[in-house]
Amino acid sequence: MKKLILKKGREKAILRRHPWIFSGAIQSVQGQPTPGETVAVHQSDGLFLAWAAYSPTSQIRARIWSWDPEGEINQDFLSDRIQQAITLRRTWIDPSLTTACRLIHAESDGVPGLIVDKYHHSLVMQVLSAGVERWRDEIVNILVETLSPDCIYERSDVAVRQLEGFQARTGILYGSLPGQPITITENGHRLQVDLVGGQKTGHYLDQRDNRRFCQQMSAGKSVLDCFSYTGGFTLHALAGGASSLLAIDSSEAAHHIAKANLGLNQMASDSYDWITGDVFNELRLLRDQGKSFDLIILDPPKFAPTANQAQKAARGYKDINLYGFKLLNPGGVLMTFSCSGGIDAGFFQKIVADAALDAEVEAKILYRLGQAPDHPTHLAFPEGAYLKGFVIGIEG
């Protein structure tokens, strides 16, 4: 049996069911495990702690599969975990209104490093850890047997794979890829999604409930949607009765899909406008032009993937929120988000508070927002709560 022996006193996080073991916590490795191989984790006095997948190149040297000493990590184990994850989604996702969701959310679903997103009859899979890499073929077989998808497409094209010692990889794992983009339903609205070239796995599924909330707040409001991508928030705001809408994104291709999405849902073309350009520059120009809005949405990309980048990213978050506050009408509302794993909710609140102070507005948090329930956060794994959002009102 191949083993990881921890340094004395470094077992506390594991006993609290945190699934990561960092290289600095390891005293010794016995048996020369290969990447992704299952190892037994023991504390310094020899007591068994967990079964984990070994990753020799990553700072996260092992990711825990199970704390059961009698357990066995095999295809049956993986099948049980995947079935549990799918059952949870059936509780929270109404297929008559939404045909796209996250089926497996990595550590929080007990399958560290595995992402599986469902888009109608197709699945998109990301393999982000050495353990999942080792079991990739078996996982594909389980998904085929369980869900009978038309296609499983791999989007393992993210930087974290390099930390695990693997190159980026994309391609068909099963079936035939439908023509792109495909059309899904979200909250009763039709949306086109590019599974091959779109951001993340094609769509920001984690914002689904927040887009519905935006729809509920938009009646009669002039709306500014920043980092609008393919128009998820734009579409929901117009469906909610926004009086006007301006969307800003740097991607012309994303705006092309966004316009198609609005056409699919029969939104009047005279109710919205587009700017393709750098959001920071465009916000500055809008301020200089004296523009103002009743509802502003700030949903930027990830500025700080890790905590080491948090301070540098804070400047960007502060700048866009400062412009946001300055562009709000009296009594207006700001929906602001951070999806950066390196910035926790408390730090994000401080950044936004500093922006409000510099903008000289009296601002209050009305709601705290996070990712949709198909992106759950295990209580022992706070790193899973990556999406932070505030709905902030300013005094009239």
Catalytic residue annotation:
339
User: Crossing angle for the helix pair 310-327 and 345-359, nearest 10 degrees?
Assistant: 40
Cα(343)–Cα(309) distance, integer angstroms: 9
Cα(179)–Cα(373) distance, integer angstroms: 29
Per the CB < 8 A criterion, the answer to whether 205 and 374 are in contact is yes
Beta bridge partners, 51, equal: 40, 66
Reported in sequence order, the residue ranges of 106-146 that DSSP labels E, i.e. its strands, are 114-119, 122-127
Reported in sequence order, the residue ranges of 11-72 that DSSP labels E, i.e. its strands, are 20-22, 26-30, 38-42, 48-54, 60-66
The two structure tokens encoding residue 62: 């092992």
Q: 213 by DSSP, 3-state: which?
A: helix
The CA distances from residue 159 to 286, 338, 394, in Å, are 34, 19, 38
Strand order in the sheet with 100-105: 100-105, 114-119, 122-127, 151-156, 169-175
